[in-house]
Amino acid sequence: MSSLARRLRGIFTAPLPATTKTPAKTIKRSSSNNSTLKEMVDKFKKSSGSKRFRSHYGYYEKAVLTLATAKKFSFIEDILEHQKQYNEISTEVFAVRLITLYGKAGMFEHAYKLFDEMPKLNCERTKFDKIDGFFQELPGNLGIVPDVVSYNIIVNAFCEMGSLDSALSVLDEMEKVGLEPDLITFNTLLNAFYQNGSYADGEKIWDLMKKNNVAPNVRSYNAKLRGLISENRMSEAVELIDEMKTSGIKPDVFTLSSLMKGFCNSGNLEEAKRWYSEIAKNELPPVRATYMILIPFLVEKGDFEMATELCKEVFSRRWLIEPALLQQVLEGLVKESKIEEATELVKLAKSKKFRITLELPSDKYYIFLLNFCSDLTQQAPSLAYDSF
C-alpha cells in the first residue's frame, strides 16, 4: 500500500482536534450576530482585493471557522466563491486552500464542485494528497463526520493521480464506518480502470457494483464502452449499445461519439459515418468534440464533400475550429476541382463572425480556377456553376 493510502487510513482514525478559538476580538464579540457577521464578510471580501491579504492563509481560516461555528455556511460560500475572480485561482496552492477550507466547514459538496472546476479555472490538479486536509482538520466543535460525498472526493483524487490501488482501499474504509459506495463512487472507479487499459479490472469493478445492488447508468456504460474501444473490440462495443437499450438506458451523444471515434481509429469510414448519423436520428444535441474527431478523419479518407458540410455546421453553431483543419479541407476541395464549395468555405471563414484567413494552394492553376470562379460567382452564380 502506498504512503498516501496509509495516510488515508490515519485520516479516519485520528481524533478530532480541540475546539478552535475564535480568531479576532471583533469577531468574538459578534459571532452570533448575523448583521455583524455579514459586515465582517463584506470587509473580508473588500480586503481580499489586496494580493498581500490573499497570501495569508490564516486570515481565511479564521474567518471560515468563525462562520462555520455560527453555521453561516452561505457566508462561507460568499467569501470563497468571491476568490475565483483573482489570478491566484489558477495556481494549485490557492485552489487547494479554498477546497480545504470548504472541507473544514463540512461543505463537502462545495469542495467537490470546486475540485471538479479546477481545469476550467486553468488550474492543474497534481497535488491531490492535499485533499486529505478535509478530514485531518475538521473543527471538533462542528462534530462533522465524513459522508459518502467526502469519500468520493478522495476516490476521485486517487484516480486522477493514477493511484488506483489507493482508490480501491477507500472502499474498505467506507465499509468500516458503515457507508456504502454509491453510483458516483463506482462510475469514478470504472472510468479510471477502463481508461487505464485495465479492462479486466474494470470488469471486476462492474461486478462489484452489481453485487452492491447499484444499477449502472449511461455514464457507467460509456466508461465500459471506452474500455472496449481502447482495446479495439469494436464488435463487442456495438453489442454493448444493444445491451444498453435492452436495459432501458438510452445512449447519449457521448456514447455514439465514442463509438464513432473507435471506428475512426480503426480506419472504418462507413461505420464512423453510420454512428455519426445515429446522433441526429436519436435527436441528440450535437457537441463540438464529435465534429473535431470526424472532420480530420474525413480529410484523411478524402471525403471532402462531407467534411465541408460538417465545417458549415460548425460555423452555423459558432464553434471554434482550427484554421489548419479548414485549410486541409479547402485544399482538398480545390484539388478535386470543387471550386464553388471552396469559394463558399473561404467566404464563411473570412466573415466577420469568424475572421479566419485561409491560404490558397500554391499551384497557380488551382489559384486561377478559384479566383476565376469567385469572380463569376459574384457576377452570375448560375454561370459559374455551369462552367465547371
Would 379 be classed as within a structural domain? yes
Above 80 in pLDDT, residue 317? yes
Would 186 be classed as within a structural domain? no
Would 30 be classed as within a structural domain? yes
For CA atoms 345, 347, 353, 357, the dihedral sign is positive
Give tens-digit pLDDT for 158-180: 887 777 888 888 898 888 889 99
Would 177 be classed as within a structural domain? no
C-alpha cell of residue 342: 471552396
Burial group, residue 181, by CB count within 10 angstroms (0-12, 13-18, 19+): buried
- 290 or 373, which is more confident: 290
For residues 69 and 62, is the Cβ–Cβ distance under 8 A? no
For residues 185 and 217, is the Cβ–Cβ distance under 8 A? no
Distances from the Cα of 342 to the Cαs of 330, 339, 345, 372, in angstroms?
6, 5, 5, 12
Would 59 be classed as within a structural domain? yes
Would 292 be classed as within a structural domain? yes
Boundary (domain end) residue, out of 85, 113, 142: 142
Identify the pLDDT of residue 25: 46
Range with the largest mean pLDDT of 13-17, 141-145, 192-196: 192-196
Above 60 in pLDDT, residue 10? no
Give tens-digit pLDDT for 340-360: 888 888 888 887 566 676 666
Boundary (domain end) residue, out of 142, 163, 195: 142
Range of the domain at 29: 17-142
Identify the pLDDT of residue 27: 43
User: Does the pTM exceed 0.75?
Assistant: no
Boundary (domain end) residue, out of 142, 164, 197: 142
Identify the pLDDT of residue 14: 40
Would 265 be classed as within a structural domain? no
- Using the 8-state DSSP alphabet, how is residue 351 labeled? S
**Into how many domains does the chain fold?**
2
Would 102 be classed as within a structural domain? yes
The DSSP H or E segment spanning 67 is helix 57-69
Identify the pLDDT of residue 359: 66
For residues 256 and 279, is the Cβ–Cβ distance under 8 A? yes
Distance, in Å, from the CA atom of 64 to the CA atom of 105, rounded to the nearest integer, reads 7
Counting Cα atoms < 13 Å in the Cβ hemisphere of 89 gives 17
Range with the largest mean pLDDT of 103-107, 174-178, 236-240, 316-320: 236-240
